[in-house]
Amino acid sequence: MSAAHKFIPVWKDEYTIHSYQVDINNNATLVVLCQLMQESAWNHAEHLELGFSHLNRKNFIWVLCRQLV
């Protein structure tokens, strides 16, 4: 990680949940929650210089293979 980046052990993102992302009880669906967690993981990995843009230069990738909720 470059000196310009501050290490953030717990990543936080804010999202707006749209009407088409909720169920009849106005709760975000499980699919939406998983998508948002994956998006946050992507953002955190990029911040840590372990994301797609950094790893692709070295012909590496990371893959989310399991998600337990």
Number of domains forming the structure of the chain? 1
- List CB contacts of 39: < 8 A, sequence separation 6 or more: 13, 15
Enter the tokens of residue 66: 């399991």
Express each pLDDT in 8-57 by its tens digit: 889 999 999 999 999 999 999 999 999 999 999 999 999 999 898 899 99
Q: Does residue 7 lie within any of the structural domains? A: no
The H or E element containing residue 17 is none
Domain of residue 41 covers 19-56
The answer to whether 46 and 52 are in contact (CB under 8 A) is: yes
Query: 2 falls in which pLDDT band (50, 70, 90)?
Result: low
Q: Does residue 64 lie within any of the structural domains? A: no
- pLDDT, position 1: 56
pTM above 0.85, yes or no: no
- pLDDT, position 59: 94
Q: Does residue 2 lie within any of the structural domains? A: no
The answer to whether 22 and 58 are in contact (CB under 8 A) is: no
